[in-house]
Structure 1
C-alpha cells in the first residue's frame, strides 16, 4: 500500500471524491432527502473550511516553506504558530469540511456515506507519510509539536 503514499495530491483527491459523491448520489436517488436547512448549513461549513484551509496555506507562505503535498521533505521550517497551534493539518481539515459541505448540499445519504473515505485516505496515504518526513527533518522539535497539537481540528 505504500505505493499510494504521497501520490495523489489532496486537491485532486477532493475533486475526484466530489465527482464520485455527485455520481453516487445520482445513481441512488432513493437515498435522496429534502431539507431546507441543508444548503445554508453547507454554505456555512464550506466557508469555515475555506477559511481554515486558507489560514493553513497563509501560514506556510508566511514562513516561506513548501505547500507541495507530494514532497514534504522539501519543508524548510516547522510551522507551529497561527492556525497550526490548534491543528497540525488545517489545510486538510478545511478540505474535508468543504467536502462534507458538498455532501450536505447534494442532499443524498449516499454522498454523505462516501464522505469519510476522503479523510481516511488522507490520514493513511498523505498525513502519516508527511509525519514520517517531518520527524526525519525536525526530530525532537516535531515530536514535541505532535504531543501538543492534534492532527485534526
Structure 2
C-alpha cells in the first residue's frame, strides 16, 4: 500500500472520484433520490470549495512556498495564517467540498461512500506523508 503514497495528485484524485460517482448514477439510477434538481444548491457548495482552494493557494504564493503536493519535502514554510489558522489542509477540504457538491448534484445515495473514500484515501496517502515531512 505504500506504493500509493504521494502517487496520485489530489486534483487528479478528485477527477477520478467524481467520475466514479457519475458512473454510479449511470449504472445504478434506481438509487437516485427522486427530487427535482435544484442547480443552485450544489453550485453554491462547489463555489465554496473553489473559494477555499483559491484563498489557500494565495496564502502559499504570498509566503513563497511550494503548492506542489507531490513533493512536500520542498516546502519552505509551515503556514499558520489565513485559513490555515482553522484547518491544517484547507485546499484538501476545498476538494472534498467540491466533491460533496457534485454528489448533491447527482442526488445518488451511493455517492456519499465515494466522498468518504476520497477523504480516507487523501488522509492516508497524501496528508499523512505531508505531515511527516513537516
> Normalising TM by the smaller chain, what interval?
over 0.9
Q: Shift of the alpha carbon at 1:36?
A: 3.7
Q: What residue in structure 1 maps to residue 106 of structure 2?
A: 106
Note closer, same or farther for the CA distance 1:60–1:12 as it changes in structure 2 (3 Å cut). same
Q: For 1:7-46, what aligned pairs fall within 5 Å after superposition?
A: 7-36=7-36, 38-46=38-46
The whole-number CA distance in structure 2 between the counterparts of 1:60 and 1:99 is 23
| TM-score normalized by the length of structure 2 | 0.95
Higher RCO (CA 8 Å, separation ≥ 6 residues)? 2
**Structure 2 alignment gaps of length 5 or more:** none
The yes-or-no answer on 1:71 pairing with 2:52 is no
SS of 1:132's equivalent in the other structure is helix
**CA distance in structure 2 between the aligned counterparts of 1:108 and 1:87, rounded to whole angstroms:** 29
Report the alpha carbon displacement of residue 58 of structure 1 after superposing the two structures with TM: 0.8
| Structure 1 spans left out of the alignment, 5+ residues | 135-153
Counting only pairs closer than 5 Å after superposition, residues 116-127 of structure 1 correspond to structure 2 as 116-127=116-127
Aligned pair count?
134
Query: Residue 84 of structure 1 aligns with which residue?
Result: 84
- Other-structure match for 2:52: 52
RMSD: 1.2
TM-score (structure 1 length as normaliser): 0.83
